[in-house]
Amino acid sequence: MQKDLGHYRKSYEKSALIEDAISENPMELFQKWFYEVEASEGIDEPNAMTISTIGVDGFPKNRVVLLKKYTYEGFIFYTNYNSEKGKAIASNPNVSISFFWPNLERQIIIKGKAEKIAENLSDGYFESRPNGSKLGAVVSDQSSVIASREVLEEKLTALEKEYSGKEIKRPDWWGGYIVKPVSMEFWQGRPNRLHDRIRYSLEDVDWKVERLAP
């Protein structure tokens, strides 16, 4: 099997990223870009991000998760702590997350350390989820091998009956992580492949700003 993709070409001309127009804190630039993506058309889930971990088998792995909150401190998402990504984070908390917004010809690449958030914060988010999503978290032994989809559906049906009219509490093996950034690179597509790349690097409590060659 072979397919040549060398003819796939696009000229990036929608915007620019200039040092005079950015803030000293990368989270403020992230918020500005996120608002602009939300206001634009063509992105169904602007909070979709790729998280990369180093697995216990030594291989890197990427997967898309949903960002649920961001603050000056970092980026929060939720998952099963016993999942493949949860075990990877427990073994090596150094992760990378990235956002790609093709409609604005932008991406952001973030390096940071992941750590569990406080249990009460995970409880609060879990309580805000629809019951179906709550039961889905309880049903799935995420990343484990199962015999068939019917196994999941049968287990879900049984739990729907068990929890009918009852409160569904957060399992202690499910909750949130916060990725605290140490580096954030903002990429803006430009013509002739001379893209803008601005990197913020954390030095003690201050951010160092540098332009990278495309």
Task: Tell me the domain boundaries of the chain.
Answer: 19-128+173-211
Per-residue pLDDT reduced to its tens digit, 74-128: 999 999 999 999 999 999 999 999 999 999 999 999 999 999 999 999 999 999 9
CA distances from residue 149 to 81, 143, 170 in whole angstroms, order as listed = 22, 13, 23
Instruction: Characterize 141-162 residue by residue with b for buried, 16 or more Cβ atoms within 10 angstroms of its Cβ, and e for exposed.
Output: ebeeeeeeeeeeeebbeebeee
Alpha-helix residue ranges (DSSP H) falling in the chain: 26-39, 84-91, 119-128, 131-139, 149-162
Global confidence as pTM: 0.93
Cross-strand partners of 109: 98, 185
Please provide the CATH number assigned to the domain covering 19-128+173-211: 2.30.110.10
- Measured CA to CA, the distance from residue 199 to residue 109 in angstroms comes to 9
Question: On the CB side of 174, how many CA atoms lie within 13 Å of its CA?
Answer: 20
- Measured CA to CA, the distance from residue 35 to residue 47 in angstroms comes to 11
Q: What is the pLDDT along the chain (214 residues), one digit of tens a residue?
A: 999 988 888 888 899 999 998 999 999 999 999 999 999 988 999 999 999 999 999 999 999 999 999 999 999 999 999 999 999 999 999 999 999 999 999 999 999 999 999 999 999 999 999 999 999 999 888 888 889 999 989 999 999 999 998 999 999 999 999 999 999 999 999 999 999 999 999 999 999 999 999 9
- Annotated catalytic residue 193: yes
Identified catalytic residue from 63, 193, 197, 199: 193
